[in-house]
C-alpha cells in the first residue's frame, strides 16, 4: 500500500507541507514510504489492522522523528485529532438518517462484540441504553510496541476520541488510553436519543397516579400491558 492511497493517512502530506514547507515535507513523505515498504515486506502476512493502520502510523512517526527530532508525537497526534474531526462529520451525516440511531441501539450487543473482537476486555456491560467496556489489551498498540514505535498509535487514539462523538443518538466518553500509559481504554456509550411519546405517556400516567395518591389513594401495583401502555392500580385504604 502507498500512503497516497490511504483514506486515513493520505492527507498527512498536506499537514507536513503546512508545518515544514514543501521541500522538507516531500523528504519526510519519501522516508515514510520507504519505511512502510520495509514493514510490509518484513510481514507480508500481517493482519488487516496492522497493514491499514499500524504500519502507516509507525512509518509516518519514524519519518517525522528522523527529520524533526522530538516533534513526531505532537505532529502525529495533531493530525489524528484533525482526521477524527473529519470522520466525525461524516458519521454525523450518516447517522442523521431516520431510524439509524434506533437501529444502532437495537443491535448494540452485536456492535459491542465487533468493537471488542481481538481486544482484551473486562467489565463488558450492554443494556438497552448503555454500552460499557474497558479495553485492557489493544492489538494495535501491541503491534506498534513490537515494531519499536509504540507512540505512533496515539495518532489513532486521537482519531478514535473525535470520530466516536459523531454518532447521533450516542453520548460517547473515553478518559483513558492504553497507548497513553493508562491501564485501560474506558469506553462508555450512553443512549442520547430524544425521548419519544412513550416516555411522555409514562410520565403523564405516573403524575396522574400521584394526584390520586394525594387524595388518599395508594398505588398498589403497576401493570405493563404493552410497549406504550402501563396500568396503575390504586386502592383506597
Q: What is the pLDDT of residue 232?
A: 64
Say which DSSP state 45 is in.
Answer: T
Q: What is the pLDDT of residue 227?
A: 47
pLDDT class for 200, splitting at 50, 70, 90? very low
What is the overall mean pLDDT for the chain? 88
**Once rounded to an integer, what is the mean pLDDT over residues 201-223?**
62
Q: What is the pLDDT of residue 117?
A: 87
**Once rounded to an integer, what is the mean pLDDT over residues 188-205?**
67
Dump pLDDT digits (tens) for 29-41. Answer: 999 999 999 999 9
Within the chain, where are the H helices?
Answer: 12-20, 22-42, 48-49, 55-67, 72-94, 100-106, 108-116, 139-146, 154-163, 197-214
Phi first, then psi, for residue 195 (nearest 5°) are -70, 135
Report yes or no: 178 and 187 within 8 Å, Cβ to Cβ: no
Q: What is the pLDDT of residue 115?
A: 80
Is residue 210 scored above 80 in pLDDT? Answer: no
Please provide the CATH number assigned to the domain covering 3-191: 3.30.1380
Q: What is the pLDDT of residue 1?
A: 82
pLDDT class for 153, splitting at 50, 70, 90? very high
**Once rounded to an integer, what is the mean pLDDT over residues 195-219?**
59
Q: How far is residue 121's CA from residue 185's CA, in Å, rounded to a whole number?
A: 9
Domain ranges for the chain: 3-191, 197-236
Q: How far is residue 52's CA from residue 143's CA, in Å, rounded to a whole number?
A: 12
Lowest mean pLDDT across 132-136, 213-217, 220-224, 226-230 = 226-230
Q: Are strands 170-173 and 217-226 parallel, antiparallel or unpaired?
A: unpaired
Report yes or no: 150 and 179 within 8 Å, Cβ to Cβ: yes
Q: How far is residue 167's CA from residue 84's CA, in Å, rounded to a whole number?
A: 12
Q: What is the pLDDT of residue 92?
A: 93
Q: How far is residue 177's CA from residue 80's CA, in Å, rounded to a whole number?
A: 14
Dump pLDDT digits (tens) for 105-144. Answer: 999 999 888 888 899 999 999 998 999 999 999 999 999 9
Q: How far is residue 12's CA from residue 96's CA, in Å, rounded to a whole number?
A: 28
Amino acid at each position: 500500500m502507498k500512503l497516497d492511497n490511504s483514506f486515513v493517512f493520505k492527507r498527512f502530506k498536506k499537514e507536513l507541507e503546512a508545518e515544514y514547507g514543501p521541500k522538507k515535507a516531500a523528504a519526510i513523505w519519501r522516508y515514510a514510504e520507504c519505511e512502510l515498504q520495509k514493514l510490509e515486506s518484513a510481514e507480508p502476512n500481517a493482519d488487516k489492522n496492522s497493514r491499514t493502520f499500524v504500519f502507516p502510523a509507525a512509518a509516518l512517526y519514524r519519518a517525522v522523528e528522523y527529520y524533526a527530532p522530538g516533534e513526531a508525537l505532537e505532529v502525529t497526534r495533531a493530525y489524528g485529532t484533525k482526521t477524527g474531526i473529519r470522520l466525525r462529520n461524516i458519521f454525523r451525516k450518516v447517522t442523521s438518517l431516520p431510524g439509524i440511531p434506533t437501529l444502532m441501539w437495537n443491535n448494540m450487543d452485536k456492535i459491542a462484540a465487533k468493537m471488542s473482537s481481538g481486544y482484551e476486555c473486562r467489565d463488558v456491560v450492554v443494556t438497552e441504553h448503555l454500552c460499557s467496556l474497558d479495553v485492557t489489551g489493544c492489538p494495535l498498540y501491541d503491534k506498534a510496541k513490537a515494531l519499536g514505535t509504540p507512540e505512533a498509535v496515539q495518532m489513532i487514539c486521537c482519531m478514535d476520541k473525535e470520530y466516536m462523538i459523531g454518532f447521533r443518538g450516542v453520548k460517547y466518553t473515553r478518559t483513558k488510553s492504553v497507548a497513553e500509559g493508562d491501564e485501560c481504554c474506558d469506553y462508555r456509550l450512553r443512549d442520547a436519543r430524544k425521548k419519544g411519546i412513550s416516555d411522555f405517556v409514562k410520565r403523564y400516567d405516573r403524575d396522574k397516579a400521584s394526584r390520586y395518591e394525594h387524595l388518599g389513594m395508594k398505588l398498589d401495583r403497576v401493570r405493563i400491558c404493552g410497549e406504550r401502555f402501563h396500568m396503575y392500580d390504586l386502592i383506597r385504604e
